[in-house]
Amino acid sequence: MTLLLNVIWLVLSGFWLAVGYLIAGIVCCLLIVTIPFGLAAFRIANYALWPFGRTITDRRDAGVASLIGNVIWILVAGWWLALAHLVTGVLLCVTIIGIPLGVGNFKLIPVSLVPLGREVVPLSR
């Protein structure tokens, strides 16, 4: 079932989400100061391609720099990304077929809001 959901997700919205996050990552990597944000955008792009069967966890080695970076991220990009995922998820949940895709968008909200100090891991069975 996870494979089917991921394929439907990839075709309908995952590819375009990943492309958007990849473009943001490339733009962020143009300046040395914003490279951590670019790497976080690449991590989100990877997760946006294939979200079902994986989850987001906090990294144990994340420190104060991740906290400061996340505050900057929230002010610059995180809040509108999270809002976009929320609106898209609600709209997808209007149809029965779109409910799993809406849930996938809701799963992207935490990592789009505060991406630094997090990692994508497979779900344990």
pTM over 0.95: no
Mean pLDDT of 12-31: 89
Per-residue CA distances from 24 to 4, 59, 105, 112 (Å): 28, 22, 18, 12
Residue 35: pLDDT band (50, 70, 90) is very high
pLDDT reported for residue 38: 92
**CA 5 from centroid of its chain's CA atoms:** 17
Residue 68: pLDDT band (50, 70, 90) is very high
| Whether pLDDT at 125 is above 80 | no
| Whether pLDDT at 42 is above 80 | yes
Mean pLDDT over the full length of the chain: 89
Distance CA 94, CA 32 (A): 42
Domain tally for the chain? 1
pLDDT reported for residue 22: 92
Distance CA 93, CA 24 (A): 27
Mean pLDDT of 43-72: 89
112, 118, 120, 124 alpha-carbon torsion, rounded to 10°: -120
**What DSSP assignment string belongs to 58-100?**
E-TT--HHHHHHHHHHIIIIIHHHHHHHHHHHHHHTTSTTTHH
Q: Domain limits at 26? A: 2-122
